[in-house]
Amino acid sequence: MTPEPANRPVALITGASAGLGLALAHGLADRGWALVIDARGADALKEAADALADRTDVVPLAGDITDPEHRADLADALIELGRVDLLINNASYLGPSPLQKLADADLDELRRVHEVNVVAPIALTQAVLPQLAASAGVVINISSDAAVEAYEGWGGYGATKAALDHASRVLAEEHPALAVYAVDPGDLRTAMHQAAFPGEDISDRPEPATVVPAFLRLLDQRPASGRYRAAEFAPAVTS
């Protein structure tokens, strides 16, 4: 699909074929945002794009966010649209399921977790930074309570989210015209959260759509750059 120049705000969302990424895509589409969305699975991404296309312009680009060529394709799509106002680095990798203690961690898997959760978001931000700066845009990096709390088995994933939190703070210092947020959405009923608790019933966790209003309120209020919990912008959300 060849994107047309956008006359509306544009968001790039990674990991947008399911879970929180897809829920955020629907929330922004309802507000008329044009979207560039990414995920590794082409079929699931096409299904997501088809469901969004009746409300807004959407460009689906399937690929691995750790692949430089894929990141370049995402940046090129934004160039063709003529702008980007919001980057949501949502794509994440949990690591092996069941979760591994650090003493037993597979180091190749640990490197992959860091590559997906830290290096790739920084690299994608680099790729679209000129356009973000031109629009005085917003970067949202999806964080986790595991970034600040020590949970058994969560050392690899939590360390990457802590690193992403810190990178968000540094980016905000280096580019004060941008709004840069690390946002902990709270525990949600997603495939990744299920993988963290294999065989357990996670039906008590809220659906991803329940936190979308909190993210939209964050965008509306545009507070100072920093780390936030979704619950701070939607008191009814349980984090």
SS (H, E, C) the chain: CCCCCCCCCEEEECCCCCHHHHHHHHHHHHCCCEEEEEECCHHHHHHHHHHHCCCCCEEEEECCCCCHHHHHHHHHHHHHHCCCCEEEECCCCCCCCCCCCHHHCCHHHHHHHHHHHHHHHHHHHHHHHHHHHHCCCEEEEECCHHHCCCCCCCHHHHHHHHHHHHHHHHHHHHCCCCEEEEEECCCCCCHHHHHHCCCCCCCCCCCHHHHHHHHHHHHHHCCCCEEEEHHHCCCCCCC
Find the length of the chain.
Answer: 239
Residue 98 has which token pair? Answer: 């069941």
Q: 185, 211 in Cβ contact below 8 A? A: yes
Higher pLDDT, 7 or 10: 10
In this predicted model, what pLDDT tens digit does every residue of 18-75 receive, in sequence order? 999 999 999 999 999 999 999 999 999 999 999 999 999 999 999 999 999 999 999 9
Residue 178 has which token pair? Answer: 């941008």
Residue 86 CB-density burial (10 A; 0-12 exposed, 13-18 middle, 19+ buried): buried
Confidence class of residue 6 from pLDDT cuts 50, 70 and 90?
Answer: low
Confidence class of residue 195 from pLDDT cuts 50, 70 and 90?
Answer: confident
Q: Lowest mean pLDDT of 2-11, 60-69, 82-91, 141-150, name the range.
A: 2-11
Task: Name beta bridge partners: 180.
Answer: 139
Q: 160, 148 in Cβ contact below 8 A? A: no
Confidence class of residue 14 from pLDDT cuts 50, 70 and 90?
Answer: very high
Instruction: Provide the annotated active-site residues.
Output: 157
Domains of the chain, start order: 10-232 (3.40.50.720)
Residue 85 has which token pair? Answer: 């106002």
Mean pLDDT, range 171-178, rounded to an integer = 98
In this predicted model, what pLDDT tens digit does every residue of 199-219 receive, in sequence order? 999 899 999 999 999 999 999
In this predicted model, what pLDDT tens digit does every residue of 115-165 receive, in sequence order? 999 999 999 999 999 999 999 999 999 999 999 999 999 999 999 999 999
Q: What local confidence, expressed as pLDDT, does residue 109 receive?
A: 97
Higher pLDDT, 191 or 127: 127
pTM reported for the whole predicted model:
0.94
